[in-house]
Amino acid sequence: NKQVILKHYTKGFPEESDLMIVTSPDTMELKVKPGSSAIMVKNLFLSCDPYMGTFMREPDSGSSDSEVAVETLSLLDAFIPGKPIAGVGVSEVIDSDDPSFAKGDFVWGIVDWEEYSTVSSFGRFKIDMSINVPLSYYTGILSVTGLTAYAGFFEICSPKKGETVFVSAAAGAVGQLVGQFAKLMGCYVVGSAGSKQKVDLLLNKFGFDDAFNYKEEPDLNAALKRCLPQGIDIYFENVGGKMLDSVLMNMNVHGRIAVCGMISQYHLETQEGVKNLQVVVYKRIKMQGFLAFDFVDRFSKYLEFVLPCLNERKLVYVEDIVEGLENGPAALVGLFHGQNVGKQVIKIA
């Protein structure tokens, strides 16, 4: 059984060398113990998510980020050196002692990064194979990523037709969906991303009204003023730092900011301060952080919304699929350097 193991707790940016691939020399019995109520799965696709970098740090290292993340994402424990890392995955059931799952079922949920896992049915969703979508979608648009974009945009931002929306990390997993949801709502949508290829995708594939490459425009304020001269009603925050500071200066009165993530800050020794926060007061801005897990009760409502959109091709979804578990560490740490174009997925079988 090949696995991706955390070698040691990390400091600063996670690196490929913080993880290692091990293969158990023992032949594995691909069966669950009778009476265990467990299921054995063969893992097919794994999701790479930015929070996983935070989980590689020591939980009580004084880093408020990792402690809060670990407490809140209670379905997952912090990673432990010497043990496999874990995340959302899509798997096939190969043996089951749980009457609600049968051999041959496909499921998604949290799994260790390994070829075969014995898991409990808790928090495991059975995949309806009559829905004609790639199985890999259950690592993203049809699981946590999709719920994040949906809940963050519709529940936190309360969008109205005709409003202006700005999305950072817009060509990523969450960002591409938020931008398209906002277009479906009839909003004017602008995104930022870190390469020309990603900006082209925003404009030509996801239907954003305008976009800019933040790495080539050091004056973010000027870029925002050019793309959104009428100001920003809604900001979907994925990156934090300087971008947040510039956005604050361009927010409209009664604007809303959904704080989904701040990837630019996760691995800095000292987080950058936000200088323009005071504008929240006189502009009466509503700024709210959230976690997808707060909205699990909206998941079926989300599927009712998103599946017809996919079916009628009102939504497109771009994945960056890397083949082989051994290429997982590079793909995961690549998230923090903008290597992924769209949702980063690992195909392991």
Summarize as ranges the residues that interact with ligand NDP (CB under 6 A).
49-51, 145, 148, 169, 171-175, 193-195, 198, 238-239, 260-264, 290-292, 335-336, 338, 340, 343-344
The Cα 319–Cα 125 span in angstroms is 21
User: Over 305-321, what HEC string results?
Assistant: HHHHHHHCCCCCCCEEE
Whichever of 101 and 181 has its CB closer to ligand NDP, that residue is 181
What DSSP assignment string belongs to 224-259?
Answer: HHHH-TT-EEEEEESS-THHHHHHHHHEEEEEEEEE
Q: Residue 235 CB, nearest distance to ligand NDP (Å)?
A: 13
Least distance to ligand NDP, CB of residue 260, Å: 4
- Tell me whether residue 39 or residue 315 sits nearer to ligand NDP (CB atom): 315
- Shortest separation between residue 48's beta carbon and ligand NDP, angstroms: 8
Instruction: Give the torsion sign (CA, 348, 40, 21, 81).
Output: positive
3-state secondary structure 154-220: HHHHCCCCCCEEEECCCCCHHHHHHHHHHHHCCCEEEEEECCHHHHHHHHHCCCCCEEEECCCCCCH
Q: Which two tokens stand for residue 140?
A: 């993203």
Nearer to ligand NDP, 157 or 239 (CB): 239
CB 234 within 8 A of CB 259: no
192 neighbors 223 (Cβ within 8 angstroms): yes
> HSE (CB half, 13 Å, CA atoms) of 153?
28
Residues whose CB falls within 8 Å of the CB of residue 70, separated by 6 or more in sequence, listed in order? 55, 59, 76, 77, 78
Angstrom distance (rounded) from CA 112 to CA 87 = 7
Q: Provide the minimum distance between the beta carbon of 146 and ligand NDP in the complex, in angstroms, as a whole number.
A: 10
Q: Helix 196-204 crosses helix 173-184 at what angle (to 10 degrees)?
A: 30
Region label for 291, one of left (φ > 0), alpha (ψ between -120 and 50) or beta (otherwise): beta
Nearest approach, Cβ of 33 to ligand NDP (angstroms)? 34
First-to-last alpha carbon distance for the chain, in angstroms, is: 13
Q: Closer to ligand NDP at the Cβ: 96 or 148?
A: 148
CB nearer to ligand NDP: give 159 or 191. Answer: 191
**Minimum separation from the CB atom of position 135 to ligand NDP (A):** 19
Task: Give min distance, CB of 109 to ligand NDP, in A.
Answer: 16
Nearer to ligand NDP, 290 or 305 (CB): 290
Give least dist CB 293 to ligand NDP, A: 7
Closer residue to ligand NDP in complex, CB, 96/238:
238
Task: CB nearer to ligand NDP: give 58 or 294.
Answer: 294
Looking at the Cβ atoms of 305 and 336, the one nearer to ligand NDP is 336
Q: How far is the CB of 257 from ligand NDP (least distance, A)?
A: 13
Distances (CA, A) of 281 to 228, 253, 256: 21, 10, 12
d(C-alpha 127, C-alpha 91), whole Å: 10
